[in-house]
Amino acid sequence: MIDVVVGGFFGDEGKGKIAAYLSLADSPDASVRTGSVNAGHTVVYDGNSWKLRSLPSAFVNPRVKLYIAAGALIRLDVLLKEISETGVHDRLCIDRNSGVIEDKHVSFEQSDSVMKGIGSTGQGVGAATADRVLRRLKLANEFKELNGFICDSLSELLDIMDRGGRIIAEGTQGYYLSLYHGTYPYVTSRDTTASAILSEIGLGPKSVDQVIVVFKSYITRVGEGPLPGELDHDEMVKRGLVEKGTVTGRLRRAAPFNVELALRAVRSNSATQIALTKIDALFPENKNVRSWEKLSREAKRFIEWIEESLKVPVTLIGTGEDVLSIIDLRKHHKIM
């Protein structure tokens, strides 16, 4: 069965941390990443930190087979650097139909005023997606640099499921950046919903066991577009909510947790669980706490408010940067 990890706001929710934690806690057979290099997932574990733009965050468990989906887009320089830094050469499969972003795509986006006007990260993703729609994009199996990594990921993943195995499907960005369901035109160049994650991999909805929608304890957004309840910079500093984007380094805008936005994301993605990260940013006294009993009363009330408002159990609570700084309530909710 498949556990889908999907963002609930505008990206930067901590999906990489959650996917990495699940890989260590549940020891799945495989993990597959969708999306592209315009989204970075930060993984902090065992004293090390990685900012991944191509590889699944589940790489931290050396027993997990890693896949890049057919619907994903890769850049050779970014991917090969990550492979070298993580040492996953012997357990990585890149689907033969994964699209490849070339220098011309990057150059186009970095010089095109329209793309900059909507807040493009300038990574070539939109331009490469357009070329794929026009059936002129080169695919992974056409590049000799990827020899030894190419496979038919769908066949392998189907075989894993036939054997009763478990797979983590790691989405990128967030629900409100969806090309179709987000705050158009201030969105990314693909759909970012749970359904779209499955589509990029090539799997159907009956394969899914859990849909884990990840929210940060507050909202952040990089680039242009609406952000209800947006805080000014002074208030962000006062509340300790100043952050920068993983890929671009741009300052993230911030706003308080928004139940209305969260509820739409939960309903649209058919969420079965909620992962709530960075509770320690709102309630610093809970830094690295790993049990519900040790959470402050204020933090518990905040989490209970979210759970009651969204009618979905909050099962994973992030209390610090490290992958293992998690309160795991899945057994309590009888989801394990």
Which element (helix H / strand E) includes 68?
A: strand 65-68
High-pLDDT (> 70) share of the chain, %: 96
Query: How many angstroms separate the Cα of 288 from the Cα of each of 109, 277, 295, 325, 327?
Result: 40, 12, 10, 5, 9
* Whether residue 185 has a cis bond before it, omega within 30° of 0: yes
Note the pLDDT of residue 250. Answer: 72
Examine the residue annotation and report whether 233 is marked as an active-site residue of this protein: no
Q: How confident is the model at residue 23 (pLDDT cuts 50, 70, 90)?
A: very high
DSSP 88-143: -GGGEEEETT-EEE-HHHHHHHHH-HHHHHTT--SSSHHHHHHHHHTT---BGGG-
CATH number for the segment(s) 2-89+150-328: 3.40.440.10
What is the rounded average pLDDT for all residues in the chain?
94
Query: Is the pLDDT higher at 241 or at 58?
Result: 58
Q: Say how many residues make up the chain.
A: 336
User: Does residue 114 surpass a pLDDT of 60?
Assistant: no
- Closest of 35, 18, 63 to residue 247, by C-alpha: 35
Average pLDDT of the segment spanning 283-292:
97
- Closest of 188, 164, 159 to residue 176, by C-alpha: 188
User: Does residue 132 surpass a pLDDT of 60?
Assistant: yes
- Which tokens hold the place of 287? 């830094």
b/e map of 235-272 (b: 16 or more CB within 10 Å)? ebeeeebebebbbbeeebbbbebbeebbbebbebbbbb
pLDDT tens digits along 143-197: 999 999 999 999 999 999 999 999 999 999 999 999 999 999 999 999 999 999 9
Examine the residue annotation and report whether 333 is marked as an active-site residue of this protein: no
Upper half-sphere CA count for residue 214 (Cβ side, 13 Å): 28
User: Does residue 118 surpass a pLDDT of 70?
Assistant: no
Q: What is the tally of helices (H) and strands (E) in the chain?
A: 11, 16
CA atoms of 290 and 314, how far apart (whole Å): 15
pTM for the whole thing? 0.94
Which of 12, 95, 280, 328 is an active site residue? 12
Note the pLDDT of residue 327. Answer: 98
Which of 41, 131, 181, 328 is an active site residue? 41
- Closest of 215, 214, 218, 250 to residue 235, by C-alpha: 218
Average pLDDT of the segment spanning 206-220:
96
